[in-house]
Amino acid sequence: MDTRLTALMINCTLKPSPEPSSTGLLGGHVLEADIVVFGTPTWMGQHSSVAQRVLERLDAELSEQDASGRPILFDRVAIPVVVGNEDGAHHICGILAQALSDVGFTIPAQPSVYWNGAAMQKVDFKDLDGVPDAVQSAIHTAAANAAHLSRLLKEQPYAS
């Protein structure tokens, strides 16, 4: 069986492309599995309005089914990635994990990757000299668990 894995990052930054964003940079560190990396900045303690719109559009996928009659997002793994200069990362990760699970994604153990800088300061993740050890550890754990779960789901999909 083919166990090659792919990844897709949904970057819900508020910055227009091609301007570099901290959300895109942090999420890019997690591209190791057949997963959706759902990245958002923290904005006023919440996920971005772009992230909310994406979640609302993913809700429409509930009615889409594969050839076996299962929702098309089954057997897909998703992890939340949050970045910002204010509190709220745990709250946002919880909201994203629940919403992504509701539309059919599977959420692995310890999936959340986040970085929060000092509140009301100007230093963003993209301004750091490197990835902090705690964040790197979270990246490794989330990517490894997502890859493991994704391989299991490829070998034995959910029943229809």
Domain 7-155, CATH among 3.40.390, 3.40.50, 3.30.720, 3.30.1710: 3.40.50
pLDDT recorded at residue 27 = 63
On average, the pLDDT of the chain sits at 88
Distance between first and last Cα of the chain: 20
pLDDT digits 0-9 by tens, 107-129: 999 999 999 988 888 889 999 99
Could you give the 3-state DSSP secondary structure of residue 120?
Answer: coil
How far apart CA 148 and CA 88 sit, in angstroms, is: 28
Query: Hey, how many other C-beta atoms are within 10 angstroms of the C-beta on 11?
Result: 23
pLDDT digits 0-9 by tens, 88-106: 999 999 999 999 999 999 9
Under 8 Å between Cβ of 37 and 79: yes
The strand ranges marked E within 44-130 are 46-47, 77-84, 113-116
pLDDT recorded at residue 53 = 92
pLDDT recorded at residue 32 = 39
Among candidate residues 130, 10, 7, the one with its CA nearest the CA of residue 81: 10
